[in-house]
Every structure is written in structure tokens, then in C-alpha cells.
């Protein structure tokens, strides 16, 4: 009987909530003076509607069909910003219209709760036009930014589309997001965030990350399309004592001139309990999957399944580093990746896009003489340095890398198929197998799949790992041969290979093991059976 009483009370409470929500008022921004005339800055009118709804206990602020120009607006607790079909919130092209908020953004929310942005309309940041105005103001001296003449205006000088900080119970559904001049949507230290069925197109400028999740808890990103000039979906940690936790991503299509799905680079605190399902990746310059922590943070319990990637520069990249100045070392453990199919071309996967990823160049002061083996970490050079030399390279393999005495731990790769176009040339670059000890650790460098420089393997490079299981793995060359070995394992403790299929015939050895302890090799199919497929150094 008490159970029945509790059930009845719960039902009544649910009905009460539904009724109360249904009675929330709507506030059409035109009733507050907003005009869709393509000239008026409607920020004050939209803000009045939001503030009025919040003061009255919550409500829906409606943006009707039409193009409404606005500077920064702040979303308040209890308010749903609803964009009708055909409605456009268009960011002002004047940088001064974003002054006065914590981070220059079109829509800002700080320490708010139960907020949402819904509907079938569009939020357009006009990033290209904003950048033009930023440069104009920098030249006039009315705006300042470090190194803008040799690199580009700093991120805090440019504008986000969204900036939400320390907010809870957030819903972003249905809308289209376009063209910021920096990170597109930025969520920091938020809880209970749902992003569903959005379309995000932003290739207006550098650092156009699609969705950045920074030290957030309980996040769901589902059924969305993201085309970004920088990382499409990126998890970050900006504080040593904070972390991302319980992140779920499912059924998303990603295109990026950087990485498709990425954890890191910012990694001061940590990441745990990350679940990713059903990603489609295409025309992406860097990695389909990038898992990185280099600032002293922890990264653990990542489960990624069912990823299909075509025309991407790299399949899987897992890396810990130590670029922080204190003694705290980053750590990675418990990574599970299953059911992944990737096609890696010989050419540049994002060639022709408005904002391509920058070509690799040698660090300043390094001039290769072409005669001796050198190992450097090439960097993605986008500053105006006429002396920088292009880093010529062959296709980079997938990689898993820790540091000496700080290994990546407990990685499982299962049902993975990676096809490479092949076509490597010794005239482009060559790093010999007998020089594995010279490959840079690059422990303080920005982490990318290219950070080790030229590698002696075309399929997979593994170093400083404890506990690696690989089951049903296929590495294929689908067009041309490659003079390099397929797989290199260096300093691995606990290697279990079960079902490795690499049908190449010309490059021997196919697999190299150096300082590999406690290994189990079963079901290995490596080209022709000559007895020379595996070399132990």
C-alpha cells in the first residue's frame, strides 16, 4: 500500500510539473521592440524579453521568422530561447558589440540553470565579418592582442557563438549554428547538458572548434552534424582539481580541418567515463579519434565503438605527455576502442576547404641537411615566418605513446580496419628501423599524430605502453606499396595480439618488436610466410 501511495503522488507531481510548464508564458521579441530590418542592433530588446521571462519564474522567448541582428545577450535561469522556423539571430559584425561580458560571445550564460535554446532557426555569428572589424580595430589601436601581426588575434579577442559557464540543466536542440570567429560553442564547468539534433557549420576562421566541453559533468551530444575548421567535438580540462565526467556522444557526423573527436589538448585536471558511439567522419585533416593528456591530467575509462571514417589524415592517436612545468605527470589508462573502419589517403584530406589545417614545418633553427637521421617534432605553422621550412613527410601511422617510466596503461583495440593509400617514398623522408632509439619523445610538444616526425612504420607505432590487447586488426594498403614496416612496438609490457591481418608482401619485416615483454602472439597473418615477417630487436 505505501508503494501505491508513492506512485500516485509521483504521478500527481508529474502532472503538476507538466501543467506548470505548459502555463509558462511566451515572450515574442518583437513585442519588446526587436526589428528584423537587417540594420538594428536588437540586443537590448532581446535582453529585455529574456529578463522579463526570468523575473516571472521562467518562460519561452520566441524569435519569429526574420533576420535579427544583435550583439551579446545573456541567457537567464528558467528561460527557453526558441527560434521559429526561418528565424535567424545574426551576430553583429562590430566587435565592440561583444564588449561587457565575461568572454566575448553572442549568447552568454554564467551560473544559470534550466536554460535552453530550441527550434528550427539559425544562430549566425558572422565570423568573417567580425574578424575584419577586429583587424581594423587592432590597426587603429582601439583593440589589443598579443602577436596579432605575426600570428592571429588571440582567442579572447575573437568571438564565440555560445559561452556557458557553471550552468546546469541545459538543452540545445534542433537549431543550426554558423560561423564564429573563435570557438563556436563553449561549455565550461557545466552540469546536465544535452545537445541533440543540431547542425553546426563553422569554417570562418582559425580555432573554430565546433563543441568544446571543458570540465563538465553529465553531458549528452547526440544526432548532430558538425563541420568545423578546428576540432569538431573536443573535451578539455582547464583546472588541476576539476575534470570532465560522464560524457556520452552518439550518432554524430563530423568533418574537421583538425580532429574529429578529441580529448585534450588542454588537460590540467582530467577526464573519466567517456562513452562514444556511432560516429561518421569525413574529409578530416588530422585524427578521427585523438585521446591526449599532456598537462598533468588523468584520462581513464574511455569506451569508443562503431566509428566510420573516410578521407582522414590519421585513424587513432593516443598520447600522454609532460608539457606542464610542475612534477605532476599525465596518465592514461583503460581505453577501449572497438568496431572502427578508417580510410587514410596519401594527400591532404581537407584540401580545398575554406580554412585548411596548416602544413607542417620544421621548428625555427632546424635546417635538415638530408644526410643524417634527425628526429624532430614538426609543428603546425600558421604564423608569418618566411624562413620556416616545409616538413616533407610520408603518411603517418596510428600511434599509442606514453613516456619512459610513465606508460599508457590498459588499451584494448578490437575489430579495427585501417586502409592506407600507400605510396611512401624514401626521397620524401626515411627514418630507418635501426634508429628507433632516436625518435623524439616530444614530451613537451603540442600533441598531434605528426608530433614524432617521420616514423619507420606505415600502420601503427606503439611505444611506452603497459597492457595492450589487439584483436581482429586489419592494416591494408589499398592502392600503392609502402617501403616501411607495418607495425612497430617499442617498450611494451604485456602485449596480446590475436588475429592480426596485414596482407603485404614487399615490406619486410612486417612487424618489429623492441623491448617487448610478456607477449602473446596468436592468429598472425603477415604477408607471405618467409620467416622474416617479425623482427625482434
494 backbone φψ class: left, alpha, beta (φ>0; ψ -120 to 50): left
pLDDT interval class at 413 (50, 70, 90) = very high
H or E segment at 382?
none
The verdict on 485 and 356 lying in the same domain is yes
Q: Is pLDDT of 122 > 90?
A: yes
Q: 405 and 536: one domain?
A: yes
Shared domain check, 277 and 141: no
pLDDT at 2 (0 to 100): 42
Residues 378, 299, single domain; the answer is: yes
Q: Are strands 270-293 and 379-380 parallel, antiparallel or unpaired?
A: unpaired
208, 227, 251: which is the final residue of a domain? Answer: 208
Kindly state whether residues 333 and 190 are assigned to the same domain. Answer: no
Contact predicate 98/104, CB 8 Å: yes
Question: What is the band of 21 on the pLDDT scale with cuts at 50, 70, 90?
Answer: very low
For residues 312 and 288, is the Cβ–Cβ distance under 8 A? Answer: yes
Task: Examine residue 527 and state whether it is found in any structural domain, yes or no.
Answer: yes
Name beta bridge partners: 272: 245, 300
Report DSSP letters for 86-125, one per residue: TEEEEE-S-GGGGTTSSS-EEEEEES-EEEEEEES-EEE-
Domain shared by 419 and 534, yes or no:
yes
Q: What mean pLDDT, rounded, does the chain reach?
A: 93
**DSSP 8-state assignment for residue 156:** T
Q: Please tell me the total count of domains within the chain.
A: 2
Q: Does pLDDT of 30 surpass 80?
A: yes
Q: Are strands 379-380 and 360-361 parallel, antiparallel or unpaired?
A: antiparallel
Residues 357 and 493 in one domain: yes
| pLDDT of 151 strictly over 90 | no
Could you tell me the CATH number of the domain that includes residue 196?
2.160.20.10
Could you tell me how far CA 211 lies from the centroid of its own chain?
Answer: 8
CA distances from 61 to 88, 194, 243, 466, 508 (A): 14, 19, 33, 54, 66
Grid cell digits, residue 358: 596548416
Cβ neighbours, 10 Å, residue 37 = 11
Q: Beta strands of 421-510 (E only): which ranges?
A: 457-477, 485-502
CA–CA separation, 6 vs 431, rounded Å? 70
Q: Is residue 450 part of a domain?
A: yes
CB 229 within 8 A of CB 204: yes
C-alpha to C-alpha distance for 63 and 82, rounded to whole angstroms: 6
Task: Determine, yes or no, domain membership for 79.
Answer: yes
Task: Indicate if the pLDDT at residue 19 is higher than 50.
Answer: no
The mean pLDDT value for 134-161 works out to 93
pLDDT digits (tens, 9 = 90+) for 302-322: 999 999 999 999 999 999 999
Judgement on whether residues 181 and 289 belong to the same structural domain of the protein = no
Question: For residue 364, is it within any domain?
Answer: yes
- Using the 3D structure, point to which of 187, 208, 229 is the last residue of a domain: 208
Taking alpha carbons only, the member of 269, 197, 271 closest to residue 234 is 271
Residue 184 lies in a domain: yes
* Rounded-to-integer distance, Cα 519 and Cα 512, Å: 13
What grid cell was written down for 232? 569538431
What's the pTM value of the predicted model, to 2 decimals?
0.94
Q: Which domain holds residue 470?
A: 270-537
Q: Please check whether residues 278 and 203 belong to one and the same domain.
A: no
Q: What is the pLDDT of residue 12?
A: 46
Query: What phi and psi values does residue 50 have, to the nearest 5 degrees?
Result: -65, -45
Backbone angles phi and psi of 140, in degrees to 5: -75, -20
Domain end residue (candidates: 208, 239, 260)? 208
Identify whether residues 61 and 203 lie together within a single domain.
Answer: yes
- The answer to whether the beta carbons of residues 297 and 324 sit under 8 Å apart is no
Mean pLDDT of the region 110-117? 98
- State what percent of residues in the chain have pLDDT above 70: 95
* Position 317 in a domain: yes
Measured CA distances, 516 to 320, 433, 491, 492 (Å) = 19, 16, 6, 5
> 420 with 523, same domain?
yes
Domain-embedded: residue 472? yes
Q: Which three cell numbers stand for residue 420?
A: 592506407
**Residue with C-alpha cell 570557438?**
183
End-to-end CA distance of the chain: 73
What gap in Å lies between CA 77 and CA 109, rounded to an integer?
9
**Helices H, strands E: what count in the chain?**
3, 32
Residue of 197, 218, 220, 199 lying closest to 210 (CA atoms): 199
53 domain residue, yes or no: yes
Residues 148 and 280 in one domain: no
Q: Which of 110-119, 368-377, 461-470 has the lowest mean pLDDT?
A: 368-377
Amino acid at each position: 500500500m505505501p508503494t501505491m501511495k508513492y506512485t500516485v503522488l509521483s504521478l500527481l507531481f508529474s502532472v503538476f510539473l507538466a501543467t506548470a510548464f505548459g502555463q509558462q508564458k511566451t515572450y515574442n521579441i518583437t513585442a519588446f521592440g526587436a526589428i528584423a530590418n537587417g540594420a538594428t542592433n536588437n540586443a537590448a530588446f532581446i535582453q529585455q524579453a529574456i529578463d522579463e521571462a526570468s523575473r516571472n519564474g521562467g518562460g519561452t522567448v520566441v524569435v519569429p521568422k526574420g533576420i535579427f541582428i544583435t550583439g551579446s545577450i545573456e541567457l537567464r535561469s528558467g528561460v527557453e530561447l526558441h527560434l521559429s522556423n526561418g528565424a535567424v539571430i545574426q551576430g553583429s559584425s562590430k566587435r565592440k558589440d561583444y564588449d561587457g561580458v565575461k568572454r566575448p560571445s553572442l549568447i552568454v550564460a554564467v551560473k544559470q540553470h534550466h536554460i535552453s535554446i530550441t527550434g528550427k532557426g539559425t544562430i549566425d555569428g558572422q565570423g568573417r565579418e567580425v574578424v575584419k572589424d577586429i583587424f581594423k580595430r587592432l590597426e587603429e589601436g582601439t583593440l589589443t592582442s598579443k602577436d596579432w601581426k605575426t600570428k592571429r588575434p588571440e582567442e579572447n579577442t575573437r568571438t564565440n557563438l555560445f559561452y556557458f559557464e557553471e550552468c546546469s540543466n541545459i538543452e540545445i536542440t534542433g537549431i543550426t549554428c554558423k560561423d564564429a570567429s573563435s570557438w563556436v560553442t563553449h561549455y565550461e564547468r557545466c552540469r546536465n547538458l544535452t545537445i541533440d539534433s543540431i547542425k553546426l557549420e563553422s569554417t570562418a576562421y582559425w580555432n573554430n572548434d565546433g563543441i568544446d566541453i571543458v570540465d563538465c559533468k553529465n553531458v549528452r551530444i547526440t544526432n548532430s552534424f558538425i563541420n568545423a575548421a578546428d576540432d569538431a567535438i573536443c573535451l578539455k580540462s582547464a583546472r588541476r582539481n576539476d575534470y570532465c565526467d560522464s560524457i556520452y556522444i552518439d550518432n554524430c557526423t563530423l568533418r574537421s580541418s583538425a580532429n574529429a573527436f578529441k580529448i585534450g589538448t588542454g588537460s590540467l585536471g582530467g577526464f573519466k567515463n567517456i562513452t562514444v558511439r556511432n560516429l561518421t567522419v569525413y574529409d578530416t585533416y588530422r585524427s578521427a579519434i585523438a585521446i591526449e593528456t599532456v598537462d598533468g591530467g588523468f584520462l581513464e575509462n574511455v569506451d569508443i565503438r562503431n566509428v566510420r571514417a573516410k578521407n582522414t589524415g590519421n585513424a587513432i592517436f593516443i598520447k600522454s605527455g609532460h608539457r606542464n612545468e610542475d612534477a605532476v605527470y599525465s596518465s592514461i589508462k583503460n581505453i577501449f576502442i572497438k568496431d572502427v573502419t578508417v580510410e587514410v589517403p596519401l594527400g591532404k584530406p581537407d584540401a580545398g576547404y575554406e580554412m585548411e589545417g596548416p602544413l607542417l614545418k620544421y621548428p625555427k633553427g632546424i635546417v635538415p641537411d638530408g644526410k643524417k637521421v634527425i628526429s624532430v617534432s614538426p609543428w603546425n605553422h600558421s604564423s608569418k615566418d618566411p624562413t620556416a621550412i616545409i616538413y616533407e613527410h610520408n603518411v603517418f601511422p596510428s600511434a599509442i605513446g606514453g613516456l619512459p617510466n610513465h606508460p599508457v596503461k590498459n588499451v584494448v583495440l578490437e575489430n579495427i580496419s585501417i586502409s592506407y593509400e600507400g605510396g611512401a617514398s624514401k626521397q620524401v623522408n626515411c627514418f630507418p628501423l635501426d634508429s628507433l632509439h632516436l625518435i623524439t619523445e616530444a614530451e613537451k610538444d603540442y600533441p598531434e599524430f605528426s608530433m614524432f616526425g617521420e616514423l619507420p612504420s606505415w600502420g601503427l607505432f606503439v611505444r611506452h605502453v603497459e597492457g595492450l590487447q589487439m584483436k581482429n586488426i586489419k592494416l591494408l594498403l589499398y592502392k600503392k606499396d609502402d617501403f616501411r614496416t607495418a607495425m612497430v612496438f617499442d617498450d611494451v609490457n604485456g602485449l596480446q595480439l590475436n588475429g592480426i591481418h596485414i596482407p603485404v608482401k614487399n615490406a619486410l619485416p612486417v612487424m618489429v618488436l623492441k623491448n617487448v615483454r610478456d607477449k602473446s602472439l596468436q592468429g598472425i597473418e603477415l604477408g607471405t610466410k618467409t620467416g622474416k615477417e617479425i623482427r625482434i630487436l
